[in-house]
Amino acid sequence: MAKRLDLQKNVLSSNDQAAAQLRREFATRRLLVLNLMSSPGSGKTTLLEHTARVLAGEFKMAVIEGDLQTDRDADRVRRAGLPAVQINTGGGCHLDVPMVRRALDGLALDGLDILFIENVGNLVCPAAFDLGEDAVVLLASVAEGDDKPGKYPTAFHRADVVLLTKTDFLPVTEFQVNLFLADVAKLKAELPVLPLSCRTGDGLDAWFAWLRRAVAAKKN
């Protein structure tokens, strides 16, 4: 058991060192890098499709897609107009720095403003792996229930912004926004929560404003 724990610690600390190096390289390019995390199906790819279509004239963006299998998400964001590289982890439940580095070989980084990394749908493992990102964007959908912050605290601790997605489902669920917000605040008082729906478009402007501020901060 002790050996297994040591190995896990080594894997994490070597990933952390590699992530720090990657972060320095992204900083030199003044490239904003966002690590999108959520449980499967919370709406990560849908959000990227909407973001691609609305902000195409404003920012140069690219996407790294992480999934166990298939190129479906990369195909979707390409159809929305963004260059994308798909990583298939096989059975792996998260992305790590070596995977991101291999994917970067397939992308033109010059002049890029934003790189989105859509992590494997999972609220547990991705939270342990730094990818050299500037910010973790954590999506939690109304359909999953309002109890997730308390049950998956590590992911919420890692987050720099929480997107409460699929708010169009609120009338047909028991989801209590106040309970969710109180749970988030208990974990990390200053963590912003942006409720939104890609179905209706409600709340998307606040997400775009958050992105614009983040790009501007990175360029300064």
Among residues 36, 63, 73, 131, the one that binds Mg ion under rule CB under 5 A: 73
45 binds ligand GTP (CB under 6 A): yes
Span from 66-74, 122-130, 133-141, 175-183 in contact with Mg ion (CB under 5 A): 66-74
Least gap, CB of 37 to Mg ion (angstroms): 11
Residue with smaller CB distance to Mg ion, 153 or 169:
169
Site string for ligand GTP, 75-114 (x = CB under 6 A): ----------------------------------------
50 binds ligand GTP (CB under 6 A): no
**Sequence-ordered list of residues with C-beta below 8 angstroms from that of 87, at least 6 positions apart, any chain:** 64, 65, 66, 67, 95, 99, 100, 102, 103
Extract the runs of DSSP E, i.e. beta strands, from the chain: 32-37, 61-67, 84-88, 114-118, 135-141, 161-165, 193-195
- Pick 18 or 36: Cβ nearer ligand GTP: 36
SS3 88: strand
Structure tokens at 108: 């033109």
Does residue 44 interact with Mg ion by CB under 5 A?
yes
Size of the site for Mg ion (CB under 5 A): 3
> For the residues of 114-155, what is the DSSP string, one character each?
EEEEE--S-SSGGGG---S-SEEEEEEEGGG-TTHHHHSHHH
C-beta closer to ligand GTP: residue 163 or 184: 163
Among 25, 71, 75, 168, binds ligand GTP (CB under 6 A): 168
Q: In what order do the strands lie in the sheet with 193-195?
A: 84-88, 61-67, 114-118, 32-37, 135-141, 161-165, 193-195
Indicate whether 43 belongs to the interface with ligand GTP (CB under 6 A): yes
At closest approach, how far in Å is the CB of 115 from ligand GTP? 17
Residue with tokens 């790009």: 215
The one-letter amino acid code at 121 reads G
Phi, psi (deg, nearest 5) at residue 117:
-115, 110
* Under rule CB under 5 A, residue 165 binds Mg ion: no
Pick between residue 18 and residue 142 the one whose CB is nearest to ligand GTP.
142
